[in-house]
Amino acid sequence: MKPPEVDRVAASRAAVAARRARASVKRAVNERRLSAVAVLDTALSSTESVEATMRVRDLLLSIPGLGPVRVDRVMERLEIAASKRLSGLGVHQQQRLREFLLKRAPRVEQPEQSRLVVLAGPTAVGKGTVSTYIRENYPEVLLSVSATTRAPRPGEIDGVSYYFIDDDEFDRMIAAGEFLEWAVVHNKSRYGTPRTPIDEALGAGRSVLLEIDIQGARQVKTAMPEAMLVFLLPPTWEELVRRLIGRGTESLEEQERRLTTARVELAAQDEFDHRVVNRDVRAAAAEVVELMQIQKAIDLHGKE
């Protein structure tokens, strides 16, 4: 008779293999849905294309798991007639179809070691500093690069600090469903998290850190309830003000605007899964990374 631990190891290996197989099927379905979006884009950008003449029904039928009965139900819900071709879709129909293809795509099952963590908190608490420290010292964590319509500060690098884009490009990215979340921050500029690098990193088993505002954190939690939200706190309000003024990157008017938002944001800290006080950058970064590990251990334990 085999010792019980041999059975346990075999069962655990079989469970991992089954999970991998399910993830691979989901990934294939996801890929098909994403290429359906590409077909839709081609059809809409060129009425001369072969894609333009394709029926919406045939496009939906090309997605694994969507049979004729479900496709008819989906089309009814999207208010698209059965005979409609891609080039004949109205603006709202295009939007509804795109949303269906993007948002309803089953999420790729995350390998156990990957984790999506959102770091939020009031202005100048040190989110950027702590995140940069994590990027430089914990290379296994991917720090997401946001897009923003605000102008670069001295020393900020396009593609590293942010993708600095104009309003038209931001509008295009929203319409194309390219953001996991986006928000107008401090009542001024728009900021958004590009979705693709995150999906890819999580799919590949990497943990991802988003350094975003509270509106964005709420959106992420709604879209991905498994995400862990961490709220970064200043040691005191006075220290927060000192850091904002000391950074010296905002005008007096902008500082006031940011401190107004900060009061509202501090009041939302209880919505978060964890709170970390940023007294010392290295210690705060280590605490955030530690929370990722603890969370992983809880997840693994829960799945056993």
DSSP per residue over 243-289, as a string?
HHHHH--S-HHHHHHHHHHHHHHHTTGGGSSEEEE-SSHHHHHHHHH
Amino acid type, 69: V
Should residue 146 be labelled a site residue for ligand LQESDW3C when binding is judged by CB under 6 A? Answer: yes
When binding is defined by CB under 6 A, the residue of 39, 56, 124, 214 that contacts ligand ATP is: 124
DSSP 3-state of 192: strand
**Distance in Å, CB of 76 to ligand LQESDW3C, minimum:** 35
Contacting residue, 42, 215, 269, 295, with ligand LQESDW3C by CB under 6 A: 215
**Among the candidate windows 10-18, 31-39, 63-71, 119-127, which touches ligand ATP by CB under 6 A?**
119-127
First-to-last CA distance in the chain?
A: 23
Query: Strands 189-194 and 179-185: what pairing?
Result: antiparallel
3 annotated among ligand-binding-site residues:
no
For residue 19, give the DSSP letter.
Answer: H
Q: Is residue 148 part of an annotated ligand binding site?
A: no
The residue assigned the tokens 């089953």 is 106
Q: Residues 6 or more apart from 227 whose CB is under 8 A from it?
A: 116, 117, 118, 220, 221
**Residue window 151-180: x/- pattern of binding to ligand ATP, with contact defined by CB under 6 A:** ------------------------------
Using CB atoms, what's the residue nearest to ligand LQESDW3C? 216
DSSP annotation of 54 reads: S
**Alpha-carbon distance 249 to 232, whole Å?**
20
Which residues on adjacent β-strands are paired with residue 191?
Answer: 148, 183
| Residue 211 makes contact with ligand LQESDW3C by CB under 6 A | yes
> According to the annotation, is 145 in a ligand binding site?
no
CA 248 to chain centre: 30
SS3 for 10? Answer: helix
**SS3 at position 177:** coil
Is 230 a binding residue for ligand ATP by CB under 6 A? The answer is: no
Nearer to ligand ATP, 115 or 258 (CB): 258
Q: Is 236 exposed, middle or buried (0-12, 13-18, 19+ CB in 10 A)?
A: exposed
Residue 84 annotated in ligand binding: no
Identified binder of ligand LQESDW3C from the candidate list 30, 129, 193, 255, rule CB under 6 A: 193
Residue 87 as a binder of ligand LQESDW3C (CB under 6 A): the answer is no
Q: DSSP label at 85?
A: B
- Which of ligand ATP, ligand LQESDW3C, none does residue 40 bind (CB under 5 to 8 Å by kind)? none
| 286 near ligand ATP (CB under 6 A) | no
Sole window of 65-73, 185-193, 222-230, 292-300 interacting with ligand LQESDW3C (rule: CB under 6 A): 185-193
To the question of whether residue 128 is assigned a binding role by annotation, the answer is: yes
Q: Which does 125 bind (CB under 5 to 8 A by kind): ligand ATP, ligand LQESDW3C, none?
A: ligand ATP
Residue 259, number of CB atoms within 10 A of its CB: 18
**d(Cα 18, Cα 15) in Å, to the nearest integer?**
5
Q: Indicate the annotated binding residues for ATP.
A: 121-128
Residues that bind ligand LQESDW3C (CB under 6 A): 123, 127, 146, 150, 181, 183, 185, 191-193, 211-213, 215-216
Binding residue ranges: 121-128
Give the footprint of ligand ATP on this chain (CB under 6 A).
Answer: 123-129, 243, 246-247, 278-281
